[in-house]
Every structure is written in C-alpha cells, then in structure tokens.
Chains A and B, each alone.
Chain A
Amino acid sequence: MESALVWLIYQRAPGVGRRRMAELMRTYPNPEEAWRLGAAELAAVRGFRPETVQALLAVRKSAEARREAERELERARRAGLRVLCYGTQGYPRRLAEIPLPPPVLYQYGPWEPGDGDGRPVVAVVGTRRPTAYGLAVAEQLGRELAQLGAVVVSGMARGIDTAAHRGALSAGGTTVAVLGGGADVCYPQESAALYRKMRESGAIFSEQPPGTAPRPENFPERNRIISGLSHGVILVEAGERSGTLITAAHATEQDRDLFVVPGPITSPLSRGLYRFVRDGAGLAVNAAQVLEDMGFLPAAEGPLHFTPRGLTELEQRVLGWMGSAPWWPGDLAETSGLSVPEVQACLTMLEIRSAVRRLPDGQYIRIG
C-alpha cells in the first residue's frame, strides 16, 4: 500500500475536510498504521464523531475512491512530479508542524525541502498590483536574500511575488513557488519562463492534483503552504483587502517571523500592513537585517550602500543625492542644482556601472 494513497483515499471520505485530516494525521502520523486502524482507534481522534469513523471505514473499502486516488498518483507520475507524503521521509518538517498541513504535496525541481539544509527560508509576498517602489523593493529583497544564501519562497502571482522570484534568480539563488493550481499548470501564462527556471533550479509546489486549473478559491489555502515552508515572511505592499493579508494571518498562526516593508503612509498599499506593525511585526529594511533579526547572520557592518569604483566626482555627487527612494531625473537636477544634460549623462554612466537602475515608469533608483 503506497503511503500517499492512504491520505488521498481518506480525504475522499464525506465529512472529512482539512481539519479532520490534520487531526487524523497528527494522531497517527504513520500512513501504514493509519490504514489499519480499527473503529475504536479512529473514534479516539479528537473531534471525530461516529459518522466520521463510519465514513472513513467505508471509504477504505470504496473501489471508486481508490480508483480516483490511484488515477491522481498515476497522473503525477506521468507528469514527472515528486510526491511528498505527510509522515514519510522527504516531507518538509516545518510544513508538518503547521495547523493544517497538506496530506500530500506535489513537487517539481531539485530543491530538497525535507529536514532543511540549514539555509534560511524566507517568503516575500505582496499585492498583485504594486507600485514601482514595491516592485523595486521586492526584487531587491529577493536578490539580497539569495546573495546571502537564503531560499526565497513566494506564490508566482503577478506583481510582488514575481519580482521577488526574479530578484532571487538574478543573483543565481534558489527560489521556490507554491501554486494555487496543479504544479504542472503554469499560471499566470506570461511567467512561463520564470516557471521553467524555478523548475530547473528551485522548486514548484502544489497540494492540488496535477492538472487542476488555477481557481481563486484555492489561493487562500495555498498561502498557508507559503508561510508553512518558511522561517519568516516579508510583506511588501498590501491593500486593505489584499490576499497577502491571509498569508500574514497564516504566518502569525504558524508562529513565523513577520516583517513589513515600510511604505509611504499616503499609499493605499501601505494600509493593509499597519496592523501587523502595531502587533509587533519587524521592519524589513534589507535582507541582512531581516536574516539577522531571524537569528541567522551575525550583525552586518559598514554602509548600507556600496559605491562602485572609478566614478567621477560629479557621478559620486549625483549618487550621493539619491537615497533609497526613486528619483525623477528632472527632480534630481532641480535639487542638486546640476543641469539636465549633466544629470542625464551621469545617470547613464551610473546605470552602466550598475549603481542605479531605471524603473518601468522612468524613475531612477539606487541599487545596493
């Protein structure tokens, strides 16, 4: 009897949802053992009523449930998916500890989530409709986290999620996505290249059967896996009703470290984050500080920004004017008293040297 089959058949019993599955798995974590339980042993599980026990016993004998479960596993095998089963070797330890762990998790990619390899795992999540600032910060955090050896988790949604994944990839790091549809279904479509890269170098996870179309009602549940896989969660921009807040709630419930990227108080996309700050979430200023606050790195020394070598005096002055906020070249000229041609020429040279970058709306932001 295949271990995964046990959970897949049990969860097909009427009246058995995520909560009862979680109670069952927590009480009898070994699937082999769970398959052989008698009525009395099942009745001892917290919250199980007599009809729950009857349903579980019945589904065990149901040929249809078995056929469906086998078909799901067969499909996973054909798609080349790895099957992670609760209570067996390879299932992520941190994920097993959350209140409602997925009984079975499908995975693409080489990353070994099992007992962890001692690397910090950090989720970076946020709105699907961010500002240019949010995008830049998410990408920067993803890159910095990867540079410092952390694994970056997110949901491959448009906006912040995608930027975080890309940032980590740009530094050659490990980044993994948890999808709301089947792990073999790339959504959104335009992220196909990103999806492929993560499949090759990181991981793609989903608790949904292979081939499941992405449905909005599955996304909130998916978020508990994002925080469940991680040591800590960084929130970058969320409106008052953003799905990101669900991830944050899961993180709190799962006792994960929560960090918030400060944004302008005037931005509606900062509003969803206030209450987490009030409740004691940490401030995410850069990756080193986040990891340090989570207890992973020794305190960082030195300046927050690095200055590339070989800049002219004028270029250094322009760079000096730019803090961490994005700048319009025109404002930079007005503030610094330099002429527009001077500022423009400097920005090109700084861009070539990777000291600044142009954002998609034409503003410039200092990198580093």
Chain B
Amino acid sequence: MFVRVWSFALQGIEALPVAVEVDVSPGIPSFDIVGLPDASVREARERVRAAIRNGGWPFPLQRITVNLAPAHTRKEGAGFDLAIALGVLAAAGAFDSAALEEIAVAGELALDGGLRPVRGALAMALAAEGGRRLVLPAESAREAAACSAGTNVLAAPHLADLIAHLRGERRLEAPDPVRPAEAASAADVDLALVRGQLVARRALEVAAAGGHNVLMVGPPGAGKSLLARCLPTIMPPLDDAESLEVSRIYSVAGELAGSGLIRRRPFRAPHHSTSRAALLGGGNPLKPGEITLAHRGVLFLDEMPEFRRDVLEALRQPLEDGVVRLARAHSHLTFPARPTLVAAANPCPCGYLGDPLHPCTCTASAVHLYRSRLSGPLRDRFDLQLYLQPVTYSEYQASTAGESSAAVAERVLQARERQRRRLAPFGLSSNAEMGPALIRRFCRIPPGGESLMREAIDRFGLTLRGHDRVLRVARTLADLDGSDAILVRHLAEALQYRGVGSEPVKRWA
C-alpha cells in the first residue's frame, strides 16, 4: 500500500515542497527512511512508532519504507514526523488516503502524539498559498496565520485531532488570532533619552536617512549602545513586503514564537565572542545568523576590535552583496542580509586615550594593534565615522533632553522619499547602496567643491573609496536639507565623518 503526504523542507528562508512517500508492504517488519535524511530525520522512526501506539492505533508489523522526494536535497529536523506518521496510518488503513491530497503538513511529534512547533511556518504558509491547506501544530499555525496566506492554515494540537479531521468526524479549527500586544509594543528606547552627544544624534539621523553604516569611536560610558539602539526608532517603519520578509526570517530561525508579523525594525547586538557561524549563519540544522536576523534593521557590533578577525573579515562579502552565501556539503544557500551596520570601538584598549582626566595606560603599539584590527577594507564599509565625546555626570545633568525619535523620523522619512523617487528606476532604495556609476550621476560636485575635495585628499589622506563615501553622505545631507543639488556646505559636513583611522596613532606615537 502506497501513500503520499505533502510536507516542506527549509532551504534558506524558502520552504520547498517535499513529497513524503510511504510504502507498507508484507515482509520482515522494518522501518526505513531514505531520500537524504539526516540523523534528526531518521530519529522520526522512534517518535512515530511511539506516537501511533500511544494514540491507540496499531502500528503495522510490516516492511515500511519512507522516501523523501526530491531525493537529492538534504532533509533536516523533526518537522517530517507528522507527515511520516500520517503516511504510515493511511497505509495501514486508519483513514482514507485520498483526504491527504488536500493538505500539506509539518510538525514534530511528542511520544504521546501531541504536536510540537516547527521552524519556518511562515515560509511554509507562503509556499502553500493558493494550493493545499496547511496543517500545523497550534503555535506554528498561529505564526503562519499572520500573513495573508494564513487563511489557508489549520491548527492541530494533537495527532488524534488531525486523524479525526481526515476521517471527517471533527473539523480542525483555524488558529487563534495573533496576540495584538506583541505586534504593537512600543520601542523601549527613544532619542529623547540621549543627553548631549549632538554630533552623534546628527550622525544617526543621517544614517537613518541614507541607510549608511556607522562607526563610533568613544570612551566607555559615552552612550554608544544607547545611541545604536535608537537608530531603529528613527528609521522609516517596515512596509508590508519588508515586514513579511523579516518575519519569515525569524520564523525560519524559530524566533517568531507564535507572535504576529514583525513590524519593528530588528536590532541585533551579538557579543564580541560570537562565532562566525552565529554571525553569518550555519550550524546543523542550518540557521540564519545575526546578520540575517538584523536584515532591514540594525546590526550592532559593540567593541568591534574585540571580535575575532576572521569573523569581521567574513562580514565583508555579505555587506557588499546584501546576502550571505553559505556553502554546504550538498548545496549552496543564501540568506538575505541587508542590515544597517553600527559598530562601536574604544579609542584604545583601556578606553581613555584623549580623556582629559584619566591618563591612558596603553602603549602606542597596543593602540596601533587595536586599531589595526579594523582593517582598511572593512572600515571602508562605514560611510559615517565619528568620535564620541565622554559625558560627565554634571554635563549629563545640565544638558537638556533632545528631540524625540518621532520628530527625527519625520525628517528621515522625507529624505527617504526623495531618494526613492531618484533611485527606484535602478532598483535601489537608499543612497548608501549607490555604486560608483550612480555616484557620478547623482552626486555632482558643486562649483567650489572641487578644490575642497582636492585639499581633503591631500590633507586628510582621503582614498578613492573614501572620496565616494563622502559623496554618498553629502547626497544624504542634501536630501535632508531638501536640496536637489549637493552644496559645498554638504561636502564640508560630510568630510567630518570621513574616518577615524589609524593615522593619528602613527602621527602621534
């Protein structure tokens, strides 16, 4: 007796339909799974056997063969449990297998037949859209129901509920609506909380407006983390397509946890001891890394020079391409990865270089080594580079609260709108994405600006890449200013963010 049940395998953030073919035929009792299952899939045999017995059905003492097609892609995880169990039961005659053509299923089985959530429910709902009805464990179903394709989703708390549904005895319910509190919860930080740091506030506004990466160098306690956390609050809200895209990533990562679509821009702050696999994605089962979880949001690397060098270098390719490419034994996978990168560093290992009151205890060579960890090519990815000033308590007390995030976000939105009109024909959305050709086209140097840029190259040692960075930032400054043309004052301000480099250490030793 042959039965086919439809399920899904996750590839990157996509769900690929997988046919779970089950054949039960006479012979010495056995239970084999083929079709490139990994160890976690093969363990399904034990869970399926127990769940079927404990559900009160007889487990067929025959030769059982399960094939996962297409057979050439590797299958991971416990999500095939439910499909295999249905196949075995249908082949054993527990219900009419014709009912299986209507549905696609995914779910991990508990030994008592209960259903546990799977990763990537949202991706599966999108893959099943317009076709078969999708049956998922209750929590996963709630996740999948958040998108427009969710009307097609049914929630099954237990294997027995699904069998009853397939026998036509009792209908499965649509999943509970999403808890609205999750979706609408307000950000816990706001730019109004930042005291002083006028230059950093301005830099954040420019970063949000143009999508530029930011590198902040400043002493401990200057508020680097708070500033970074504020950046998502002034970026334009996620539109529907972006929201779905981000939610799908979190669904695949298993971090959506039954809540609705993600509406807020993600903020991820991996610790500096983070491994390459955790940052870029990898592991077994394959999961997206922090850079993908920060897609369309902010990836904050605090104490960036403390990150392992190979980990930092590995960031360069995704930052360039907007996707992470992972090579696996049997395939290549890509995850989207287009975060705004915010990095923070101390001015030196002890943190007090340049502090008026604390003498710095680092040797010049230690400072040099510390700064050299931010290699030139990586540093070139940061359009905005700035120094933060130390904040003393009295200054903190004295300075007035600044503008709120909402007020800044308003200006950011307008600047983004100008960029969208200009860049949409090229498939781009922000100034930071402009390559050399578009820079030449849209960032005309104004009269009087040529000599300024020439002087900057001579005096500040501006590189060719640095030159382009300054022009991109100047374009954003002009957009914030509501100006079609870049003016000299925009170039002059942009040059202030030109670079916090190793050159001062060499000069000052």
Contact = CB atoms under 8 A, between A and B. Distances in A.
Interface of A: 127, 129-133, 135, 139, 158-159, 162-163, 166, 188-191, 194, 239, 264, 266-269, 328-331, 333-334, 340-342, 344-349, 351-352, 358-363
A331 B387 CA distance: 13
15 contacts: A131-B354, A131-B356, A188-B509, A266-B357, A328-B389, A329-B198, A330-B196, A340-B202, A341-B489, A341-B493, A344-B202, A349-B452, A359-B354, A361-B353, A362-B389
A-B pairs with lowest CB-CB distance, top 8: A362-B387, A361-B354, A360-B504, A345-B492, A132-B354, A330-B198, A328-B389, A348-B492
Contacts of B201: 340
A340 B459 contact: no
Contacts of A328: 199, 389
Contact of A330 (B197, B477, B492): B197
A131 B492 contact: no
B492 A344 contact: yes
Contacts of A269: 359
B455 interface: yes
Contact of B477 (A333, A341, A347): A341
B372 interface: no
A360 B508 contact: yes
Interface residues of B, number: 45
Contacts of B356: 131-133, 264, 266-267
A361 B508 contact: no
Nearest to A161: B509
A345 B364 contact: no
B495 interface: yes
B359 A361 contact: no
Contacts of A363: 354, 387, 389
A163 B508 contact: yes
A130 B354 CA distance: 8
Given A266-B356, A330-B199, A334-B198, 4 more contacts: A264-B357, A328-B199, A344-B496, A360-B507
A334 B500 CA distance: 23
Interface string B478-509: 00000000000110110110001000111111
Contacts of B500: 362
Given A330-B389, A341-B489, A344-B493, A158 B509 contact: yes
Given A352-B455, A352-B456, A362-B354, A158 B364 contact: yes
Nearest to A328: B389
B508 A348 contact: no
B379 interface: no
A236 B389 CA distance: 24
B364 to A, nearest CB: 5
Contacts of B196: 330, 334
A329 B199 contact: yes
Contacts of A334: 196, 198, 399
A297 to B, nearest CB: 29
A348 B495 contact: yes
B102 interface: no
B101 interface: no
B399 A360 contact: no
Contacts of B389: 328, 330-331, 362-363
B355 interface: yes
Contacts of A162: 508-509
Contact of B508 (A135, A333, A341, A347): A135
B341 interface: no
Contact of A268 (B359, B492, B496, B504): B359
Contacts of B127: none
B363 A158 contact: yes
Nearest to B350: A129
A334 B201 CA distance: 13
Interface string B208-221: 00000000011000
Contacts of B197: 330
Nearest to A264: B356
A163 B353 CA distance: 15
Contacts of B200: 330
Contacts of A342: 489
In the complex, which of the residues A264, A330, A331, A361 has the most CB atoms of chain B within 10 Å of its own CB atom? A361
**Which of A135, A345, A349 has the largest number of chain B CB atoms within 10 A?**
A345
B183 to A, nearest CB: 36
